[in-house]
Structure formats: structure tokens, C-alpha cells
Amino acid sequence: MNVRDILSVLNFSAFRPEEDDSTAVWRRRFPRHRSAIVSIGRGALSWRGILRNGQTADGEFLRGDPKELLGQVAQHVKDATDDGWCAVSLNTRYVISLETNLSRRPGSEELLKMNPRSVLGARYERGKRYAVTHSPETNSSILVACDEEQIRKHETMFREAGLKVGRYCCGAYILLRHALSQTNTTKGGEKPGSFFYVICSQGSVCALLQDEDRWMEVRSRTDVYDESIEPALELLAPFNQKVPAGAEIVLVCDSIFPEMVEGLGRLFPSHKLTDLTTPDLLSNLMVQN
């Protein structure tokens, strides 16, 4: 498989263990193999092993320069895997935006990975890799753009550390898709729900406001919070006047985050708050998808 194909991955379906199969999940890509999930932020790195049965194992969370940290943990990661294969979540230098009237012609999502200009037109930026999720009800789409330079930089980091990358993704984007799939379950004839989605992934925050079946606004920032969640709450505060009455606040994080649950409770006291986070959620989603 060509390295450029691997580098183009920003969602689960783009990595091909076989040339004619673009839908293989991580377990199928590495059946009965131990592998690892590595999550990288601007000033932090975490990793967890994946056992042969697909369950996540112990790992580490470290703060500091990611390149230095990867060098420190590389041997531990190798020891926890059979061949050094890793799935990597990038949590910095990406943008999640809300777009309208993007092409939905057959094959456009695959074409977005190969020739994004033909799909995005004037929205296209050189040096970016893209993935998209379309609203099933309106002409809105969630578009994620990641720095190609960053992907190449991390590919070199992992290669120099003696590790192999089998998939790249944007952690916040994966968690947002999970939140949408878990809540937008109304059937035809039922009134769709209104939600305010808050996604947290290793310092990054993404917020999506949904009024019934309409995606109204997205706010996405990387490297927002560290030891204190106050910067994240300040980012979300303007939505206090925008969230419709009766809308549900939905929180999804890459790991259990009680401080954010408490903070959102203070920020949106009149709204029901649902925390969809489970232990090691991002790792588990990357293994299952």
C-alpha cells in the first residue's frame, strides 16, 4: 500500500487492508494481532494497547513535547504490540466547519480523499486533507480539514521511533459522529430532537448546535484547555443564549471527564445534560470501526 494512501486517512473507511475493500475495520485489518492507539495533542501524548480480542489494555498519559514523549514510550508501545502497528488520533492543527451545498453525487466522499478540489471548489485549501459527514435531512455538512504537513511530520516521528501507522483520524470528529449516531434516532413522523453537542478530546473542543433537524452552528478549537477547563467553558458560554428551550446538552469525551460535566451543568442549568462518555471511548471506537 502506498504511504500517501495511509496519510490521506481522516476517517475510518479510507484505510484499505485490501485494494478492493475500503470498509475494513481495525480488527479486520489486524485480526488476532496486538496493536496500539496513540493520541497526540500539542503538549501531550497518550497511548493504550489493543489486545488480540479487541479490548483495550493499559497505557500511559504524558505531558510534554509529543516527539520527545513518543521516543520515551516507543519501546513500551512496541512491547505491547506484535508488529508495532498503531492507530493515531491527531488532536491539534485541524478545523471542523459547517458547510452547505457540498456535492453529494455518488462517489464524492471517496473523491474528496483523492481530489478534494473537485468536490469543495472554492472551499478547497492546498495542503489539507479532508473528510465529510452530510446531514441526512438538510443540505448541511460537517467538514474536517487537517494539515497535511502535520500528518507527514507525525509519519516521520513514528517511523523514526520504529513504529508503523495503520490509520490516522481526528479524535473530535470521530466522537462527534458517535454523538450524532447515538442521538438522532427519531423515526419518520416523530419530531426530531434539538441538541447541543459538546466534544472534548485531549485539549480540543468542538460544539455543534442542532435545532430539530437543522445543524445551525459549529465551533471548533484545538489546544483549548489543559489543567483547567475554564477556557473551554468560556468558549462554550456564548451558546447559552442560542441553545433552544428544551434542547438537550450532549457531552462526549475521549475519557471520563467529571469536571466538564459539572461545568456544563453550571453553564446550562435549565437543560437536561446527557454524558455519553464511557471509559476509553475513543480507543474503543477506533477499534470497533
Question: What does the pLDDT look like over 152-174, one tens digit per residue?
Answer: 999 999 999 999 998 888 999 99
Q: Is the pLDDT of residue 81 over 70?
A: yes
For residue 207, list its beta bridge partners. Answer: 198, 219
> Which residues are CB-neighbours of 277 under 8 A, at least 6 positions away?
251, 252, 253, 254, 255, 256, 257
Q: Is the pLDDT of residue 211 over 50?
A: yes
Task: Grade residue 187 by pLDDT with cuts at 50, 70 and 90.
Answer: low
Helices vs. strands in the chain: H and E counts, helices first:
10, 13
Task: Grade residue 145 by pLDDT with cuts at 50, 70 and 90.
Answer: very high
Task: Grade residue 20 by pLDDT with cuts at 50, 70 and 90.
Answer: very low
What is the amino acid identity at position 153? K
Q: How far is it, in rounded angstroms, from Cα 137 to Cα 149?
A: 35
Q: How far is it, in rounded angstroms, from Cα 276 to Cα 153?
A: 33
Question: What does the pLDDT look like over 214-237, one tens digit per residue?
Answer: 999 999 999 999 889 999 999 999
pTM: 0.87
The reported pLDDT for the residue numbered 54 is: 83
What is the amino acid identity at position 132? V
Q: How far is it, in rounded angstroms, from Cα 45 to Cα 39?
A: 6
Q: How far is it, in rounded angstroms, from Cα 43 to Cα 62?
A: 9
Q: How far is it, in rounded angstroms, from Cα 62 to Cα 69?
A: 7
Burial (0-12, 13-18, 19+ Cβ within 10 Å), 192: middle
The mean pLDDT of 80-98, rounded to a whole number, is 92
Average pLDDT value over all residues in the chain? 87
The residue among 194, 165, 177 whose CA lies nearest residue 288 is 177
In the CATH scheme, what is the code of domain 3-92+146-170?
3.30.420.40
Task: Grade residue 272 by pLDDT with cuts at 50, 70 and 90.
Answer: very high
> Which residues are CB-neighbours of 39 under 8 A, at least 6 positions away?
45, 46, 47, 88, 89, 91, 171, 201, 202, 254, 282
Task: Grade residue 188 by pLDDT with cuts at 50, 70 and 90.
Answer: low
Q: How far is CA 177 from CA 6, 28, 65, 121, 135, in A?
A: 21, 21, 29, 24, 11
Task: Grade residue 7 by pLDDT with cuts at 50, 70 and 90.
Answer: very low
The residue among 218, 210, 175, 176 whose CA lies nearest residue 192 is 210
